[in-house]
Amino acid sequence: MSEETGAESLRTYEEINAKIKRGEAVVLTADEFVAHAAQRGLEAAAKEVDVVTTGTFGAMCSSGAFLNFGHSEPPIRMSRCWLNDVPAYKGLAAVDAYIGATAMSESLGFEYGGGHVIEDLVSGKEITLRAESYGTDCYPRRSIETTVVLEDLNQAILINPRNAYQHYNAATNSTDKILYTYMGTLLPGFGNVTYSGAGQLSPLYKDKGFETIGIGTRIFLGGGIGYVIGEGTQHSPQTQFGTIMVRGDLKKMTPRYLRGATFHRYGTTLYVGVGIPIPILNLRIAESAALADEQIQTNLLDYGIPSRNRPTVKKVSYLDLKSGEIYINDRKTPTSPLSSFKFAREIAETLKHWILERRFSLSRPVELLPRQRESKPLEVRGGQGVLTSATAPASRTTKATDTRRE
């Protein structure tokens, strides 16, 4: 009879935290555990290691921050709001706002967006706050312009609806035109391949069965401590496209692990550093944590097809992608990562040292993330906005598969 999900048959959270408190916990990064399991064997490694730390640092477009500005004199009920000329969402109470990573400056466009505002806030820079209102009896002010820094704000909470995809599709372009996408610039005629995700360091791939990650899991987030608050949007664990929703205090983060960025002729985003400690509670978790780059595969999709069902060119492993080149139609094609392996390793190492220094303990989730979720498409009804074959670029591939969007 198989163990239940999250069974603590090798060790418990309490036992791990007691060892952390005594300075006796055995902690390895995911890279180290892959090598250790290969050398010692899976069962021996599982018995010897208490925690495996992970890391990823990549563009996470579904990110942003809730901000509370406090009340001015006289007070204003902000109905529209801008931070450094980037619009923030104001369908909230008087002086609450949400700044999204992909919101773009109304004056600078692609050059500056919500992700840059968040980085600038965490860097301690002054931000120009501008707001408008229709005025009410209790909130008579109709406009305001001032500057704020992070410490002026009552709350600045990073709440990201979708972060840390388990893995992600790689991208190429079969057409005869350069394409500008959220997967970067794709050269014509299968001229290059871009990819994202941290491979064997990937937090959600190291707990593929979602036996340790859930609501309340304490994590590394943006250089500080954060928490998983639930499944992320578009969470599809059965296809290995699991995601998480996370929160953390911006005032305790660092701009090293929160970077505003622009994808040329596509839009703005925020690079986010995420690291999750994986407790080795049972052998299944150890088996997942020991997966190496050559065992983690993804689909290479043709982004030349403007469809949610882009064709698969071929399957590739992260080992292949990390090598710097793969073959497409018997021709070498260069590959380049959109996420940083240097920073992913750094995050995993930092989290490891936090645990060894007794600055970070593990938290048992109050509810594990779901292991099954239907991922529904948006069906366009009424015949509006249909892309015709006359406007679709010609493709050199024919095989179709499901895909995920940023």
Catalytically active residues are 138
- Find residue 243's DSSP bridge partners: none
Side-chain-side CA neighbours of 385 within 13 Å: the count stands at 6
Measuring CA to CA, how many Å separate 313 from each of 115, 188, 296? Answer: 32, 14, 17
- Find residue 214's DSSP bridge partners: 368
* Cis geometry, peptide bond prior to residue 74 (ω within 30 degrees of 0): yes
Side-chain-side CA neighbours of 205 within 13 Å: the count stands at 27
Output the CA torsion 305→306→310→313 (10° steps): 30
Dihedral over Cα of 115, 121, 127, 129: its sign = positive
Tell me the one-letter amino acid at 165. Y
Side-chain-side CA neighbours of 284 within 13 Å: the count stands at 14
Give how far the C-alpha of residue 235 lies from the chain's centroid of Cα atoms, to the nearest Å: 12
Of 304, 335, 333, 362, nearest in space to 21 by CA: 362
Give how far the C-alpha of residue 284 lies from the chain's centroid of Cα atoms, to the nearest Å: 24
233, two tokens: 């949007």
How far apart CA 108 and CA 166 sit, in angstroms, is 33
User: Kindly report the CA angle at 125 between 93 and 78, in degrees rounded to 5?
Assistant: 20
- Cβ atoms 272, 57 nearer than 8 A: yes
Tell me the one-letter amino acid at 280. I
**CB-neighbour burial class of residue 261 (10 A; exposed 0-12, middle 13-18, buried 19+):** middle
How far apart CA 348 and CA 204 sit, in angstroms, is 13
52, two tokens: 């495996």
Region label for 254, one of left (φ > 0), alpha (ψ between -120 and 50) or beta (otherwise): beta
